[in-house]
Amino acid sequence: MTAILVSEVGPRDGLQSIKSIMPLAAKQAWIRAEAAAGVREIEVGSFVPPALLPQMADTPELVAFARTIPGLNVVALVPNAKGAARAVEAGVHGLSIPFSMSETHSLRNVRKDHPAMLAEIAAVAAIARAGGVHFAVGLSTAFGCTLEGAVPEDTVVRLAVAAAEAGAMEFSLSDTTGYADPAQVRRLVRRVRAEVGDLLTTLHLHNTRGLGLANALAGLDEGITTLDASLGGLGGCPYAPGASGNLVTEDLVLMLNAMGYETGIDLDQLIAVRTILAEALPGEPLYGFTPDAGPMLDYAERIAR
């Protein structure tokens, strides 16, 4: 049975894209409940200036809380070396930085062009190494950009190689704008992996156009072993207009478990976590087919195979 890591990114990618600010106690309850359901990695927040994203102001407190949960890999996003230093000081197990393949999006998102971002990646890599922290680079807008349109695959490959040379320990291909299709996922995973090898482990997918699960399956077929997802499909990108909807954790776990992949996640417990979100974020829409329809009648038999 193949093990697949489902990395929950809702507390970061989900919450950064909505106006409501979830109380710290509710975030802690969310993280605790998901870990109890078997989720082994959670991106608890990002180390960005609170003035830019007040939703993330309590990330240091969340890291400290999440570190008390046995077996949970606690990760956070950082925009730059300053954020990386704060993340390491807070005690994260791992950190990631978004590296937009679309230079227009990079300038809008982190105010840096590609050469400046490669220098920032090298600086973050040094901080991570010194702190004994894992460092991943998310190749954002790898499948297309709402600001530029198509992003050449040659550009993605070239920048991935440059980021590896700058010190990246791991890569994800990120469909920040929901532009990917399964054929494109297969092709780009193969091309990037041909240059950086097993450093490419992860897909970060959005379900903006309903292709999230199909794209996840295409990635699995190419050997991807980690899939990011957000409970209730919360999230998007505040600097990519129209890029709503992360891959729904509940739907992804149903698919993986039913297909015989090993996630370690109890689906019923996972669905129950939605109550915390619904109570803490009244009026915020939650997505997903599985919570409404429930698992198949033979779900237990499928996962027991």
Distance separating alpha carbons of residues 35 and 29, to the nearest angstrom: 10
Distance separating alpha carbons of residues 208 and 151, to the nearest angstrom: 18
Measured between alpha carbons, how far is residue 243 from residues 17, 101, 179 in Å? 10, 16, 9
Vertex 112: Cα angle to 106 and 114 (nearest 5):
75
User: According to DSSP H, which parts of the chain are helical?
Assistant: 24-36, 59-66, 81-90, 103-109, 114-131, 153-166, 182-196, 212-221, 249-259, 267-272, 274-280, 290-293, 299-304
- Residue 238: the pLDDT is 52
- Residue 240: the pLDDT is 47
| pLDDT confidence bin for 301, thresholds 50/70/90 | very high
Decide if 141 contacts 114 (C-beta within 8 A): no
Helix (H, G, I), strand (E, B) or coil at 44: strand
| pLDDT confidence bin for 257, thresholds 50/70/90 | very high
Rounded to a whole number of angstroms, the CA Rg of the chain reads 18
What average pLDDT does the structure give for the chain?
94
| Cβ contacts of 165 within 8 Å, gap of 6 or more | none
- Residue 243: the pLDDT is 47
Decide if 170 contacts 135 (C-beta within 8 A): yes
Half-sphere exposure of 16 (CA within 13 A, CB side): 29
237 belongs to the catalytic site: yes
Distance separating alpha carbons of residues 180 and 143, to the nearest angstrom: 5
| pLDDT confidence bin for 235, thresholds 50/70/90 | confident
Residue 286 structure tokens = 């939650």
Mean pLDDT of 79-90: 97
Q: Provide the b/e sequence for 31-46 (b: ≥16 CB within 10 Å).
A: bbbbbebbbbbbbbbb
35, 66, 237, 243: the catalytic one is 237
Please provide residue 276's backbone torsions phi and psi, each rounded to the nearest 5 degrees.
-65, -45
Is the per-residue pLDDT at 43 higher than 90?
A: yes
Is the per-residue pLDDT at 210 higher than 80?
A: yes
Q: Which residue did the predictor score with more confidence, 94 or 148?
A: 94
Please state the separation of Cα 202 from the chain's center in Å: 9
Is the per-residue pLDDT at 111 higher than 60?
A: yes
The CATH homologous superfamily for domain 5-304 is Aldolase class I (3.20.20.70)
- Residue 236: the pLDDT is 59
Which percentage of the chain shows pLDDT scores above 70? Answer: 97
In the chain, where are the structural domains located?
5-304
Distance separating alpha carbons of residues 277 and 21, to the nearest angstrom: 11
Mean pLDDT of 160-182: 96
Mean pLDDT of 214-220: 98
Mean pLDDT of 60-88: 98
